[in-house]
């Protein structure tokens, strides 16, 4: 590897993994030196580190957690990122509120310490031009690269304990607007302006106009496929897997799912079926579980308690194998999906996989392997060790957001969710399911009905920044405003505020 030490926006020294000095041009920016080194050493990882942290750089550990070439790792000892909390005004993804205690997926990079492979830098250098501000350059590389399949993380293991904290650089509004203009659709600079005006009372017209002079970095096509990926980690050992399936009123659909599982090239050890029927005198209708022979053990549990969160938690408590396949009772999939999921886990060194999940005849828009901002409880593969202290939150039962919450719990335990477009599960969207059970909400008799759903508000309050919540509020406001007549704007605004406050009230009750 190559290690670049820097201070005061200039490189101070460059050394090899053996600590041999390497020549560099001292009058160049840090980004320029990195790009030059990448061309000189295209097969090596390139590390950057603030000079104050030289003695705390975890050189020995790097080879463990930088385990394949399509990674970008960074860490900041500061509480906030270079772009600050206001970046939440333009992005609602889970990548903004970073958990600094674990490996966490984010494109928010820091100049303090980090590592990237030279081959990635060479490719990104064709789109992301050199910048005198090293933090801006790193965040730009990660933001552009993450969409294209570069896996980006905040990695606290880059530093040993008790590392000193350099004075962090912070982007001003001109830099923030420029970044938004170069990395998001144009409408987001307007929304950033409006968010600042409404929620911070800042009239940021000059930063907005300044940003118009910069071109987008999203348009030029890049292909990461030529960069090989083969993790050095051992993620799959026994190749054993259990499947969990909550079901309610879908006897034939479930039978078809079991038939697909019976044809797998790698068979599951256990299929855990949680059958729900809230009718007091009801009994199981799944006679074929015992009348037919299956090439796996079926663990069948019948309950009168309806609810997908409860059912999945019950199933997860009975998982025995190394991996678990979170399935649904109206899915269809190919006979090699488990085998291919294991192959992807080994190749990328990951513990959580989510698949393409399309309805019949639905077009597949996302065709790039990437860090997913969503999680699917009916189409995901998870290593059992990732599930410690992770459950489906029963506060979200019969509402919305339980998948999002579960995915956020995984990320906050250090387990990223990676989407693989060539792993495909067809979701038949059968007409009968858990939501046909009418459940009375706590707020159903409220004179002012909460909006958005208190369960969605609950997820936002639990996992996202205040700026992300406010952005969601403003976007929701404009979406609903379009449906109102001009003469009703005053009444609409008052009603919107009342509904929002009731949503917050019930979310806090949950």
Q: What is the pLDDT of residues 177-219, one digit of tens each?
A: 999 999 999 999 999 999 999 999 999 999 999 999 999 988 7
Question: Contact, 248 vs 435, CB < 8 A?
Answer: no
Lowest mean pLDDT among 141-145, 311-315, 360-364: 360-364
Where are the alpha helices (H) located in 58-159, listed in sequence order? 59-65, 118-124, 134-148
Where are the alpha helices (H) located in 263-377, listed in sequence order? 288-291, 308-316, 337-348
1: helix, strand or coil: coil
Q: Which two tokens stand for residue 176?
A: 């923030």
> Which pLDDT does position 435 carry in this prediction?
44
> Which pLDDT does position 485 carry in this prediction?
75
Task: Estimate the share of the chain in helix, then strand, then coil, as percent rounded to the nearest 5.
Answer: 40, 15, 45
> Which pLDDT does position 371 carry in this prediction?
96
> Which pLDDT does position 437 carry in this prediction?
58
Query: 208: how many CB neighbours lie within 10 A of its CB?
Result: 19
Lowest mean pLDDT among 14-18, 228-232, 418-422: 14-18
Query: 7: how many CB neighbours lie within 10 A of its CB?
Result: 13
> Which pLDDT does position 257 carry in this prediction?
97
Give the pLDDT band of residue 67 (cuts 50, 70, 90). very high
Q: Which two tokens stand for residue 21?
A: 């000095």
Q: d(Cα 162, Cα 491) in Å, to the nearest integer? A: 56
Tell the burial category of 350 from Cβ atoms under 10 Å away from its Cβ (0-12, 13-18, 19+): buried
> Which pLDDT does position 434 carry in this prediction?
46
> Which pLDDT does position 291 carry in this prediction?
95
Q: d(Cα 301, Cα 311) in Å, to the nearest integer? A: 9
* Cβ neighbours for 331, distance < 8 A, ≥ 6 positions apart: 257, 260, 378, 379, 425, 426, 427, 428
Where are the alpha helices (H) located in 23-58, listed in sequence order? 30-40
Q: Which two tokens stand for residue 360?
A: 């019949």
Question: For 256-304, where are the E strands, in sequence order?
Answer: 270-276, 297-303
242: helix, strand or coil: strand
Question: CA angle 405-449-429, nearest 5°?
Answer: 50
> Which pLDDT does position 318 carry in this prediction?
97
What is the per-residue pLDDT across 279-338, written as a single tens digit (0 to 9) for each? 888 899 999 999 999 999 999 999 999 899 999 999 999 999 999 999 999 999 999 999
> Which pLDDT does position 446 carry in this prediction?
87
Q: d(Cα 102, Cα 81) in Å, to the nearest integer? A: 16
- Chain length of the chain: 510
Phi, psi dihedral angles at 404 (to 5 degrees): -60, -45
Question: Contact, 150 vs 224, CB < 8 A?
Answer: yes
416: helix, strand or coil: coil
Lowest mean pLDDT among 14-28, 83-97, 100-114, 249-263: 14-28
Question: Contact, 115 vs 149, CB < 8 A?
Answer: no
Q: d(Cα 113, Cα 163) in Å, to the nearest integer? A: 11
Q: In this model, does residue 436 exceed pLDDT 60? A: no
Average per-residue pLDDT for the chain? 93
Q: In this model, does residue 247 exceed pLDDT 60? A: yes
Question: Contact, 60 vs 217, CB < 8 A?
Answer: no
- Closest alpha carbon to 353 in 323, 380, 316: 380
Give the pLDDT band of residue 491 (cuts 50, 70, 90). confident
Q: In this model, does residue 345 exceed pLDDT 70? A: yes
Q: In this model, does residue 489 exceed pLDDT 50? A: yes
Q: Which two tokens stand for residue 104?
A: 């966490």
- Closest alpha carbon to 318 in 242, 405, 263: 242
Question: Contact, 425 vs 356, CB < 8 A?
Answer: yes
What is the per-residue pLDDT across 147-173, written as a single tens digit (0 to 9) for each? 999 999 999 999 999 888 898 889 999
Rounded to two decimals, what is the model's pTM? Answer: 0.93
Place of tokens 């990732």: 386
Give the pLDDT band of residue 438 (cuts 50, 70, 90). low
Q: Which two tokens stand for residue 501?
A: 């406050």
- Work out the average pLDDT over 16-37: 91
* Cβ neighbours for 255, distance < 8 A, ≥ 6 positions apart: 288
- Work out the average pLDDT over 476-488: 84
């Amino acid at each position: 590897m190559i290690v670049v030490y820097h201070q005061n926006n200039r490189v101070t020294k460059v050394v090899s993994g053996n600590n041999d000095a390497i020549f560099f041009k001292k009058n160049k920016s840090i980004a320029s030196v990195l790009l030059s080194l990448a061309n000189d050493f295209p097969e090596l990882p390139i590390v950057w580190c603030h000079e104050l942290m030289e003695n705390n750089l975890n050189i020995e550990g790097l080879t463990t957690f930088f385990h394949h070439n399509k990674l970008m790792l960074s860490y900041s000892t500061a509480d906030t990122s270079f772009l600050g909390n206001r970046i939440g005004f333009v992005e609602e993804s889970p990548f903004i509120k970073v958990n600094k205690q674990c490996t966490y997926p984010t494109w928010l990079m820091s100049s303090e310490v980090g590592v990237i492979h030279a081959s990635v830098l060479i490719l990104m250098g064709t789109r992301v031009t050199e910048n005198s501000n090293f933090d801006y350059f790193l965040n730009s590389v990660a933001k552009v690269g993450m969409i294209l399949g570069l896996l980006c993380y905040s990695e606290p293991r880059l530093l040993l304990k008790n590392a000193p904290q350099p004075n962090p650089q912070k982007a001003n509004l001109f830099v923030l607007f420029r970044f938004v203009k170069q990395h998001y659709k144009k409408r987001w600079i307007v929304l950033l302006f409006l968010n600042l005006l409404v929620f911070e009372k800042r009239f940021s017209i000059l930063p907005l106009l300044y940003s118009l002079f910069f071109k987008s970095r999203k348009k030029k096509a890049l292909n990461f496929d030529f960069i090989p990926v083969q993790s050095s980690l051992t993620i799959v050992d026994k190749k054993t897997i259990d499947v969990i399936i909550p079901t309610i009123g879908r006897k034939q659909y479930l039978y078809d799912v079991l038939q697909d599982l019976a044809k797998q090239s790698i068979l599951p050890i256990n299929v855990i079926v949680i059958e729900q029927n809230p009718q007091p005198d009801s009994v199981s209708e799944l006679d074929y579980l015992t009348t037919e022979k299956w090439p796996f053990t079926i663990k069948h549990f019948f309950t009168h308690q309806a609810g997908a969160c409860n059912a999945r938690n019950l199933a997860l408590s009975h998982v025995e194998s190394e991996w678990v396949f979170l399935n649904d009772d109206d899915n269809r999939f190919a006979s090699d999906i488990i085998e291919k999921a294991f192959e992807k886990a080994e190749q990328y060194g990951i513990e959580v996989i989510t698949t393409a999940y399309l309805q019949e005849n639905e077009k597949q828009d996302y065709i790039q392997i990437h860090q997913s901002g969503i999680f699917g409880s009916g189409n995901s593969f998870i290593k059992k060790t990732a599930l410690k202290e992770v459950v489906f939150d029963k506060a979200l039962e019969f509402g919305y957001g339980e998948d999002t919450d579960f995915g956020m719990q995984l990320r906050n335990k250090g387990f990223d969710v990676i989407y693989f477009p060539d792993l495909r599960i067809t979701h038949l969207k059968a007409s009968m399911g858990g939501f046909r059970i009418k459940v009375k909400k706590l707020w159903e008799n409220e004179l002012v009905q909460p909006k958005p759903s208190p369960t969605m508000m609950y997820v936002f309050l639990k996992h996202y920044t205040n700026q992300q919540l406010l952005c969601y509020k403003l976007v929701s406001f404009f979406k609903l405003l379009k449906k109102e007549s001009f003469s009703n704007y005053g009444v609409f605004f008052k009603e919107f505020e009342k509904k929002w406050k009731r949503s917050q009230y019930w979310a806090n009750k949950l």
